[in-house]
Structure 1
Amino acid sequence: MLKPDTFALTAVLAFLTALGPLSTDMYLPSLPMIAAALQATSAEVQLTLSTFLLGFAVGQFFYGPVSDRVGRKPVLLFGLGLFILASFACALAPSIETLIGARFLQALGASGPIVLGRAIVRDLYDGARAGKELSRMGTIMGVVPALAPVLGGVLGVAFGWRASFVLTIVCGLMLAAIVILRLPETIRTRSTTPISLPAMLRGFAELLKHRGYRVYVGLAMLTYGGLFAFISGSSFVLQGVYGLSELAFAFSFAFVVIGYILGTALAQRLVGRRGLDGTVKLGAICLAAGGGLMLALVGFGVPSSLAVSAPMAIYGIGVGLTMPQAMAAAMMPFPDRAGAASSLLGICQMTFAALLGIGLGRFLDIGSALPLPIAIAGTGLAALTLFATTGRVRG
């Protein structure tokens, strides 16, 4: 069995939480190809991303509270099973409407592993150690969004856009086998709260009464919102406005992910000395700096795609520094409700990102790159402002 404080357990949890990024990033280079093949508009294809985020939010509503009651492992296996079946539907989708619906179901499944991966970390670790573990997971998980667009681009050119979904099926099956054979149950004390919608809502309301929890959830929302704006809009901007090929876009996207990996690696070194808040502060500065620089470069008409990808790498460093620590800080006061705290955090985070992505999608067909840096700069500056104005609440 996998044991705490081992690389093997960290790697398994990292790849479980990477199912979401894998399901989005790998098919990004093929979005224009999907639009052509299914005779869809850019906004309709972008809905396959935003609908995925909405499905993520809906799924996270249930996984955490249910796992607090019945255990992490059986709920995790249910999520993986749903993910695998929905990935089959995505691979076989005959129309954009079918693909949008299948992506929603795929997200319902993929949301389980990410909620339960965070909850398992809270089951096993406390405080800064939990933040360090989430950062370690982020470093490993960062390999997925770094390689996924490149792999997706190669698969798209060689076999068509459906090949990316076939590979997600294989990954889901492999992870399910590892969970069945090697992952132990980690929950220490099972919740006695009944599994019902009113009980879940009451539990979420109790969590939201904690002012510090609200702040850290807000930081996670804004941080991921800017990242998702780039995920959902970058293929249209970098390929449509700057003229990059599918593979050139994939490598440009991977360059951005390197920033995220660097941020998580820095967080592992800094969180022990500076604490959760000290690390988040540096991350929020990077978020604002990256977003602001991108807006300035695009606004002044710099013709290179580096005007988008280079500042986004700085934003990526901010994501790696901010998000794992904000998540750990949000869940820290609730050791007996780690699943519910993780669920509500995910609901808020994904709903905000999905709504931001839908709004951004309405402006992607105007032939300008400017809507993308406006969204990213807005979230970065808002995150820094939130952190700077809530010192007493966090303290």
Structure 2
Amino acid sequence: MSLRFFSPVAVLLCVLLVTCRLGRLAGAELDPYEIEVGHSEGRMDFLQLETSLTHELNNNTAGFPRALYGDSPDSLESKMAGLGLKFGWLSKVLVMFTYIAFGGSSLWLLCYGLPSKSPRDAQMMGSTRLLVFLGTVQLFAYFTTDQYVPSLPQMGLELRGTQTQMSGSIQLNLFVKALVGMIVGPMSDHIGRKPILIMCLTLLILGSFACALAPDVNWFLAARIIQSLGESMEGMRLAIIRDCFNEKDRVFAIGMVTALMMIGPSVGPLLGGFIAACSHWRVPFFALGFLWSIFTLYAGFFITESAPEVKSRGTWQTIQHICGDRMLMTLLLADVCLMGTYLSYESNFSYLAEAGYGKSTAQTSLLLSVTPIAVTMGTTLLDMLNFKSVLQTVKFSVTFFTLAVTPAFAITGLYFSESFWAYWCSALVMAGSVACVIPLTALYMEPVEDMAGTAGALEILFSNGLGTVFSTASTEFFVKGGQRGLSIFHAGCSLLAGVVFWLGYATWPPCKEADGGDKLS
């Protein structure tokens, strides 16, 4: 119990210290980049903003770095902004090379079949080193997206992209990695986890450097797709935990990986905003390219195979089995609603804060960094409650999420639609409660030993892929209805999560869970 309590709290304290320190540093740097856009009755006129900026930049394409960062061509900001014009061709080469190589490799596998799986290494069973590696990789996978969220308006100016295109880069990433995960997940069941891990890390290297040198929004989106291909291994972390940890430790393992993951969304916006203020938004992408190179070398030398030596079902048979099981499908759909609530907040908050209320990038970064801390706190408190079974944990946490988040956002949307802080406080309630996704995922992964890779990929497809649909819809609610429309959308998602879980699973659970949950405890 002491380890279960200490580890998430230690992570939380470290995040708090880094957040406070960077907040003080960034606060003094970003005043010149504050975005002041008036708003009336909670509704932003994004179309007018986009049209005026696009017209200005199109009339002076060659000189847009100077227009954005001042008259000094020797400033660091101007030089970094000019990279897209000077070395944009290199980004195009990386993108085209990656697409051709990825397509050629896929064609080769179709023609000659999949290679055989390496034997399972017993050293991976219960390995703390593996757990830390998985959490750290996922940390930087989340950081890859979250670090540039506060800089979206600035990036839209430089890359000549609209608000819809720049916000869409987040939603595109979620959708692509969820869809491609349905290929790499089943492949990991057949050829092993390690080859897929190495391939995806390599794609992240190429995608990060291509993003850093992107000349315009179209090539940036193409590079983000490459990053999404690399991040498609996200579902495999669930499969590896299912491979290497027994039933007693599995929920704790997922919780610990999640605690590490949450450092990325927590520090990412603040650190990304700070680096963008001190240098440029392209710098974090360069740094990520080098970091992914280090992770690839480590995985190649120190991570061994963990997939069980059991004959896996066919991919289509596995998908049919999961989709045909009412209980598993209910858990997946509840997961979609829970993640849809969180993702719709994450993808729209920076525009609400900066374009709607004139917050600086530093302020937006600091506010964004607090919500993952709330997730970590919720994870710690949920683990401390120590329910007898996973099912009981899921019942309590999902019910609490619905009863707390739905009225919070409904009241904010109906009565406090002009208050930024009312919306942000409601978001904190949502972030602290969304930890219920962890035991929900453990409950879903329990009966899928021989198809863990496919099951994990399917979970990511539902939570992120369909969650992207929720996120896209929320952006439309936001553009047309302002803060009120966005708050009501959040309230609807959280209510739907509770209804789906209780009507589809909790009211009539499988017999073994209803009888005491010995297997899932």
Same fold (TM > 0.5): yes
The residue aligned with 2:307 is 187
Post-superposition shift, 1:327? 1.3
Which letter does structure 1 place at the counterpart of 2:467? A
Select which of 25, 34, 47 maps to 2:146: 25
Post-superposition shift, 1:138? 1.1
Select which of 276, 291, 296 maps to 1:176: 296
The answer to whether the aligner puts 1:145 opposite 2:254 as a matched pair is no
Which letter does structure 2 place at the counterpart of 1:265? T
Post-superposition shift, 1:205? 1.0
Post-superposition shift, 1:31? 0.5
The answer to whether the aligner puts 1:98 opposite 2:213 as a matched pair is no
Post-superposition shift, 1:361? 2.5
Larger Rg: 2
Paired residues in the alignment total: 387
Which letter does structure 2 place at the counterpart of 1:206? H
Select which of 392, 398, 404 maps to 1:278: 392
* 1:317-356 pair list within 5 angstroms: 317-320=432-435, 322-356=436-470
Contact 1:286-1:315 within 8 A present in 2 as well = no
Q: Which moved more, 1:121-130 or 1:153-162?
A: 121-130
Distance 1:131 1:22, change over 3 A: same
Contact 2:203-2:229 within 8 A present in 1 as well = yes
The answer to whether the aligner puts 1:87 opposite 2:199 as a matched pair is no
Post-superposition shift, 1:17? 2.4
Post-superposition shift, 1:277? 2.1
Look up the SS of the partner of 2:387 in the other structure.
helix
The residue aligned with 1:120 is 240
Which letter does structure 1 place at the counterpart of 2:227? Q
Contact 2:337-2:493 within 8 A present in 1 as well = yes
Identity level (%): 23
Q: Which moved more, 1:33-42 or 1:363-372?
A: 363-372
The residue aligned with 1:301 is 416
Distance in 2 (CA, whole Å) between partners of 1:24 and 1:286 is 29
Post-superposition shift, 1:367? 7.4
Look up the SS of the partner of 1:273 in the other structure.
coil
Distance 1:168 1:266, change over 3 A: same
Which letter does structure 2 place at the counterpart of 1:62? I
Contact 1:86-1:106 within 8 A present in 2 as well = yes
Distance 1:39 1:351, change over 3 A: same
Distance 1:228 1:70, change over 3 A: same
Distance in 2 (CA, whole Å) between partners of 1:191 and 1:84 is 33
Post-superposition shift, 1:88? 1.4
Cα offsets for 1:309-364 (capped at 9, x unmatched)? 222122112222x1111111111111111111101111111111111222223344
TM-score, with length taken from structure 1: 0.92
Cα offsets for 1:241-284 (capped at 9, x unmatched)? 222111111111111111100122123333x4342222223332
Distance in 1 (CA, whole Å) between partners of 2:142 and 2:406 is 21
Which letter does structure 2 place at the counterpart of 1:37? E
Q: Which moved more, 1:295-304 or 1:219-228?
A: 295-304
CA RMSD between the two structures:
2.0
The residue aligned with 1:243 is 358
Select which of 190, 200, 212 maps to 1:69: 190
Q: Which runs of 5+ in 1 are unaligned?
A: 194-198
Distance in 2 (CA, whole Å) between partners of 1:102 and 1:363 is 28
Distance 1:364 1:179, change over 3 A: same
Look up the SS of the partner of 1:369 in the other structure.
helix
Post-superposition shift, 1:303? 4.5
TM-score, with length taken from structure 2: 0.70
Contact 1:69-1:190 within 8 A present in 2 as well = no
Select which of 327, 333, 340 maps to 1:218: 333
Which letter does structure 1 place at the counterpart of 2:138? T
Which letter does structure 1 place at the counterpart of 2:293? L
Distance in 1 (CA, whole Å) between partners of 2:406 and 2:182 is 30
Post-superposition shift, 1:9? 2.5
Distance in 1 (CA, whole Å) between partners of 2:310 and 2:210 is 35
Distance in 1 (CA, whole Å) between partners of 2:262 and 2:484 is 27
Q: Which moved more, 1:167-176 or 1:380-389?
A: 167-176
Cα offsets for 1:199-232 (capped at 9, x unmatched)? 4233211121222211211122111111110111
Q: Which runs of 5+ in 2 are unaligned?
A: 1-120, 515-521
Which letter does structure 2 place at the counterpart of 1:140? L
Select which of 198, 201, 205 maps to 2:316: 201
Select which of 237, 252, 258 maps to 2:367: 252
The residue aligned with 2:229 is 108
The residue aligned with 1:196 is none
Distance in 1 (CA, whole Å) between partners of 2:440 and 2:412 is 29
The answer to whether the aligner puts 1:232 opposite 2:352 as a matched pair is no
Distance in 2 (CA, whole Å) between partners of 1:20 and 1:219 is 24
Distance in 2 (CA, whole Å) between partners of 1:123 and 1:89 is 34
Cα offsets for 1:59-92 (capped at 9, x unmatched)? 2111211111111111111111111111111111
Contact 1:35-1:45 within 8 A present in 2 as well = yes
Look up the SS of the partner of 2:232 in the other structure.
helix
Which letter does structure 1 place at the counterpart of 2:181? Q
Look up the SS of the partner of 2:483 in the other structure.
coil
The residue aligned with 1:263 is 378
The residue aligned with 2:86 is none
Distance in 1 (CA, whole Å) between partners of 2:184 and 2:248 is 25
Contact 1:286-1:314 within 8 A present in 2 as well = no
The residue aligned with 2:3 is none
